[in-house]
Amino acid sequence: MIKLSWRNRGFWDKMKEVSSRGVSHRAAKVSDMKIPDTSSSSLFTPLALGQAPGKIILFGEHAVVYGRPAIAAPVQQVRARAEIWPAEACTVEAADLHRRIPVADASPDDPLARIVRLTCEALARPLPPWRIRIASEIPVASGLGSGAAISAAIVRAMLAAFDAALDDATVSALVYEVEKIHHGSPSGVDNTVVVYERPVWFMRGKPPQPFAVARPIHLLIADTGVSSPTRIAVGDVNKAWEQDPTRYETLFDAVGSVAQRARSAIETGDVAALGPLMDENQRLLAAMGVSSPELEALIRAARAAGAAGAKLSGGGRGGNMIALVDDEHVGLVSRALTAAGAVSVIATTIPPAIVV
């Protein structure tokens, strides 16, 4: 698993400060940020910044590829970030991945170059002379939407630097094009949730539906440390579905029914009902063949320590699992997950939200 670190934290800390004073936290033109310029030259100040969160799938992964509904939410605790610097040619740099991509010469299926080109096409602009530096706290190939978040952060930074705007549906559509390179046949749920940055009810090919969250939902997200590209898990489910469509359609229908019941429980504030629904969803995912011994060990440990329910989140076979917890059990479950081998545990809350 590759973990990226952010090398210029001081700058981002300032950006967070500015966000809390009212400038969009998704993108900012540095000249708008009223940060005292302590450097003597603009060589030390990026032109613009963009960022996007990670994501979890609460219910419905894999079945969503086959037209059933899924419920997903952003994870604000981990983010991908992009900053834009003046340069002589357009390059994307992921220092922590040891990658530097000259966009004009990159292969059409390079995801980082592709999102830059797509953004320029959408705005009818030529490739700009920029160095686009990216970094991310979201572990790669771990079910937390790292690829989609990096693409979304790049688009947002480019929009800020161009002084241009695109609505969320358009940004999500651009990120979806790159998700095809990452995933083969993505449902579109990852790009949707990281771009809209709110819990969504998602069905393939339809606009996302925001829905009410009546009471806060507290979750722990634990990483098995096993890197698992979504493309492989999705491809294997597809092969199994081709071999036994009746069995897989039945499994997908059952997942769709779990997602429906979960939506009602979230809307009515019946958080207690979500635990058994997560367990039921996990049984169905295991039956599809996308769980793993590492995921099962974390799920067992979370339940034994008092989690109300637990399941894998994302493509599975590794990556992250989620556990539903209350105040009384959050510490116990977190320690149990670490003892069972989790390489990181993140606490997150889906806050109450109304739909207007």
Where along the sequence are the contacts to ligand MEV (CB under 6 A)?
57, 61-62, 64-65, 143, 183, 186-187, 189-190, 230, 234, 314-315
Whether 109 is catalytic is no
CA diameter of the chain: 67
| CB closer to ligand MEV, 128 vs 188 | 188
Catalytic residue among 110, 190, 223, 279: 190
Of 73, 79, 94, 75, the residue nearest 15 (C-alpha)? 79
| CB closer to ligand MEV, 255 vs 305 | 255
Residue nearest to ligand MEV (CB): 187
Closest separation between CB of residue 271 and ligand MEV, Å?
23
> Would you call 240 exposed, middle or buried from its count of C-beta atoms within 10 A (0-12, 13-18, 19+)?
middle
| CB closer to ligand MEV, 274 vs 312 | 312
| CB closer to ligand MEV, 130 vs 252 | 252
Closest separation between CB of residue 58 and ligand MEV, Å?
11
| CB closer to ligand MEV, 119 vs 320 | 320
Closest separation between CB of residue 300 and ligand MEV, Å?
22
- The SS3 call for residue 95 is helix
Alpha carbon distances (Å) from 44 to 12, 30, 31, 85: 14, 12, 13, 9
Answer whether 220's CB lies under 8 Å from 337's CB.
yes
Closest separation between CB of residue 291 and ligand MEV, Å?
13
Closest separation between CB of residue 189 and ligand MEV, Å?
5
Answer whether 44's CB lies under 8 Å from 57's CB.
no
Of 328, 286, 283, 274, the residue nearest 305 (C-alpha)? 328
Answer whether 79's CB lies under 8 Å from 52's CB.
yes
Distance between CA atoms of residues 154 and 164, nearest Å: 13
Helices 245-268, 230-243: crossing angle, 10 deg rounding:
120
Question: Could you give the residue numbers annotated as active site?
Answer: 190
